[in-house]
Amino acid sequence: MLKKWMIPSAALFILAACNDENIGELVFEDWEAAVEIEQEISTIQEPLSEREQQESEWYQEMLELSEVEEIEPLSEEAVTSAEERRDLMEEEQQIIETSYDQFHESSEHVDQMEEEKQQAADRVFEAMEERYEAYQDLHDQYITSIDEDITLYEMIASESVEIEELQEQHDTVNEMYSMIADKNNAFNDATEEFNEEKTNFYSTADLNVVDEEE
């Protein structure tokens, strides 16, 4: 799998003796609603991974064939699969945008908090912005890699392609994968930082919160 997605940690608010809703709880609700929205990405990751794996198998099979008539059907299948990955990535980006907008619904509540809590919340917003930018970099790189994959699949089915040209495109694709791995790591690092700052805010805001995985 080319991308390994890290979703922000989800948390549960444990009601204390007093059930009065405060500003911190409103912020919590907006942020955890954003996390819940992003959980939908898990439904995209599996079909995305399956297509990546299938394309890799088709490509290896194409390399072992010598007749263009045999290669063409596999090439067409691989191109179709790559285009389907592009569609899945657009779905993924829409989920990220929706989650991002939901997260920022909390801004009006944060503005009403005392200074110490506002500062803690601001650090969460900064971490979110870094994560959002890291995602955009990852998304753009992945889309570029799809274009390069399609070029490779079409080249291998061409009667006029030179072996040197094919090798050069193969190297380009491998370079794309390496860049995706780097950007994926940066995104996951940003996610970890976001989780830490979010947990710190909940503590600063005196919210009785536990990780859902606990």
| Amino acid letter, 74 | L
What are the pLDDT digits (tens) for 133-158? Answer: 999 999 999 999 999 999 999 999 99
Rounded to whole angstroms, the Cα distance separating 141 from 188 reads 15
**Per-residue model confidence (pLDDT) at position 19:** 38
Question: Is residue 78 included in any domain, yes or no?
Answer: yes
Query: Which DSSP symbol is given to 17?
Result: S
In a domain, 144, yes or no: yes
Q: With 90 as the cut, is the pLDDT of residue 7 above it?
A: no
Contacts 24+ apart (CB under 8 A), 185-188: 186/134, 186/137, 186/138, 187/6, 187/131, 187/134, 187/135, 187/137, 187/138, 188/4, 188/6
In a domain, 154, yes or no: yes
Instruction: Look at residue 214 and tell me if it is in a domain.
Output: no
Cα 135 from Cα 85, distance rounded (Å): 17
The answer to whether 151 and 143 are in contact (CB under 8 A) is no
Does 93 have pLDDT greater than 70?
A: yes
Residue 168's pLDDT band, with cuts at 50, 70 and 90, is very high
List phi, psi (to 5°) of 22. Answer: -120, 180
Q: How many domains does one find in the chain?
A: 1
Question: pLDDT band at 66, cuts 50/70/90?
Answer: confident
Model confidence band, residue 12 (pLDDT cutoffs 50, 70, 90): low
- Asked if residue 105 is part of any domain, the answer here is yes
Distances in Å between the Cα of 213 and the Cα atoms of 9, 29, 46 are 8, 18, 21
**Which stretches within 39-113 are classed as H helix?**
42-64, 68-103, 107-110
* Within-domain flag for 145: yes
Provide mean pLDDT across the span 114-132. 96
**Helix (H), strand (E) at residue 11:** strand 11-13
- Read off the pLDDT of each residue in 87-116 and give the average, rounded to a whole number: 95
Does any domain span residue 13? no
pLDDT at position 2: 55
Q: pLDDT tens across 29-51, in order?
A: 999 999 999 999 999 999 999 99
Burial class (CB in 10 A: 0-12, 13-18, 19+), 196: middle
Q: Residue 16 has what pLDDT?
A: 47
Residue type, 11: A
Residue 91 lies inside a defined structural domain of this protein = yes
Residue range(s) defining the domain that contains residue 76:
21-207
Q: Identify the CATH number of the domain in which residue 166 sits.
A: 1.20.120.570
User: Does position 20 have pLDDT exceeding 60, yes or no?
Assistant: no
pTM of the model: 0.89
CA distance 191 to 132: 9
